[in-house]
Structure 1
């Protein structure tokens, strides 16, 4: 049962990495999977006690998570760079998707990252400027 839960956790984290960090998400997911496979291989060969393996997996997650989250963006950076003043809301939505939230005519994009993006629209619903705080 423990192995199944661990496998589900690894797959879930790899899927999140794959989808969240374009264009490097697939690379992050692959590296994460390889590290997990190496840890499991060492654990099953009895080279390390099981408790030490669990601590190693937790250390990778605890210390690796902030590094990954600090670098992430709520929208793909290559798409964000395409947003220009004068674009319509429909054009912005086709590039970045629907906003996480709207406030006072601004569209805000945020997620499980420390980065926050705000697109300011003028009264005629065209982009005035973009604030990217990362």
Structure 2
């Protein structure tokens, strides 16, 4: 959501809800989605954010969530225990349609699956059955769809 020119060039804009501890995952996802035609906002890349989170942080996050085409929740061990992530998801749930929200569920090295709690409510982005790329799934569906059609 850098500017209107960026939005018209890239088909969609997204807000990434994630733990800052998952920085590498966030960057990788941002790059991959950019290749798919989505401009993904990551709060710690925003120079207008205050150094220490405060009311300005919350206000800016609300504004960006409202303006984004989609809201993506990167469900990891750290985001599931974050103070900010549940607040962001709750806010998005109140201002976005269900089809504008997706959960990106992850598994850790031990096979623990994060994001189960939310998978039934929203679309999800996950590895396709071949395991070679990400796809999105309608809530309750096991049929993968291209992220370009998200």
- Output the TM-score relative to the length of structure 1: 0.29
Task: Point out the structure with the larger strand share.
Answer: 2
Structure scoring higher RCO (CA < 8 A, sep ≥ 6) equals 2
Task: Point out the structure with the larger helix share.
Answer: 1
- Output the TM-score relative to the length of structure 2: 0.27
